[in-house]
Homo-oligomer: A and B are copies of this chain.
């Protein structure tokens, strides 16, 4: 197959580029390589009959190179756009037809796997980075992006690099840089070589020598997640700073949904709770699961569903569990409005940072196990005034809920995070009574959370039949 492909390439070369009267002759090429001709040293003296070259002396491996490329290089030697004391006299004595034949022969040979090159792990890592990714901070593209995946070569202008000898490659890079070689398209290689350090040139040359074309890219080690921390007090922008125009209107709609979910997201809300009931000050308050802290923390892996979850999917979970309703589709206006609102609240917050004030301040396990009986007393004295003695919330004259029900059919279902006693205790300790957060002791918060949790509520929809 390869032989045929090369032959076809040689033919094209012959017909198109050289306007020669005949196709490349492999056997003529082989004869020249083996024996040379009057005044022409045999190529095999340095490159070997099969074009495997010589690692120690830095003679390149020609086997498997593109015939057009080999031809082009011979021409370059002839016309001094590539300087080499050995090759120049040879190239000057070869006819174009001879060049073609030699090129076709070497191209038809199979390159042997590299041997004897043993770079260190560090060198491989650096070399691989340059080969695959480049150094774009200095405008250096990765070798593979032009020379093809794993450096297998692309056409006749981007030769195969894989398995080439490292000292040869390194010499070439230095030659580009010094201008001894200047036969590259658009001065690309010259520019690249001048932007690489000596160490980088060595590393990439050694990596290319040992890399397997068909090998899989080695798995990068991967670090433990170390999140950037943002320990200052983050302040979301003023409401008065919401911009004019369509984007601002979308942010405002998101805020309205957040503020009065049953009315503004009627299709998706399944109870009478609003987002702001759990996220105080409409998602702004630090320590009350503020939306600016959540926004920059997604997408993230969630243990809860064993999935990498986007902010939209996180919002859908809120609707499903805390709202006991239906998740708004990701491309619904409700979703875009909420995401726009969160995004706007997070203006200036560093993407991916662990923001101080995220979630509810964590509580340790209490000294005494949470006690719902003592919780009932705390509820009566501290919670009932707003949430009602029966925990069913309080409505205004129009019938809408001013204070949310904490259990029963109109509250969050048992799939909601707030159904976990620990989380509820953390919320209560930091944020309840409303406007007087911190009034209860940690133990009181645990107890009242246990009391709230001891009541029936709609079932987890994942467990419904």
Contacts and interface: CB of A to CB of B under 8 A. Distances in A.
Interface of A: 5, 129, 133-134, 136-137, 139-141, 145-146, 148-149, 152-155, 157-158, 185-188, 191-192, 220-226, 228, 235, 239-248, 250, 280-282, 284-285, 292, 295-296, 298-301, 306-308, 310, 312-313, 330-331, 336, 339-340, 343-344, 346-353, 382, 385-386, 394-398, 400, 402-403, 433-437, 439
Contacts of A240: 220-221, 223
B247 A300 contact: yes
A295 B436 contact: no
Given A299-B343, A330-B330, 13 more contacts: A133-B281, A136-B280, A146-B386, A146-B403, A148-B402, A149-B402, A186-B385, A188-B433, A188-B434, A222-B244, A246-B306, A296-B351, A347-B351
Number of copies: 2
A240 B348 CA distance: 26
16 contacts: A5-B397, A133-B281, A146-B435, A148-B396, A153-B396, A186-B439, A188-B434, A222-B244, A222-B245, A222-B248, A224-B244, A246-B308, A247-B300, A292-B351, A295-B351, A351-B351
B242 A222 contact: yes
B246 A225 contact: no
B141 A434 contact: yes
Nearest to A331: B330
A307 B333 CA distance: 10
B146 A402 contact: yes
Contacts of A226: 243
Contacts of A139: 435-437
Contacts of A284: 136
Contact of A154 (B239, B352, B394): B394
Given A243-B225, A347-B228, A350-B349, A435 B396 contact: no
Nearest to A241: B223
Contacts of A344: 352
Q: Is the interface of A mostly helix, strand, loop or mixed?
A: mixed
A186 B136 contact: no
Contact of A247 (B225, B312, B340, B353): B225
Contacts of A292: 351
Contacts of A282: 133
Nearest to A249: B308
A106 to B, nearest CB: 16
Q: Which 5 A-B pairs have the closest CB atoms?
A: A330-B330, A148-B396, A136-B281, A222-B244, A347-B352
A299 B400 contact: no
A346 B340 contact: no
B350 A350 contact: yes
A348 B224 CA distance: 17
A239 B135 CA distance: 12
A146 B353 CA distance: 34
Contacts of A241: 223
Contact of A330 (B296, B312, B340): B312
A274 to B, nearest CB: 10
A322 to B, nearest CB: 18
Contact of A308 (B306, B307, B336): B336
Contacts of A439: 186
A371 to B, nearest CB: 21
A208 to B, nearest CB: 16
A335 to B, nearest CB: 8
Contacts of A152: 396-398
B225 A245 contact: yes
Nearest to A247: B301
Contacts of A331: 312-313, 330
B296 A185 contact: no
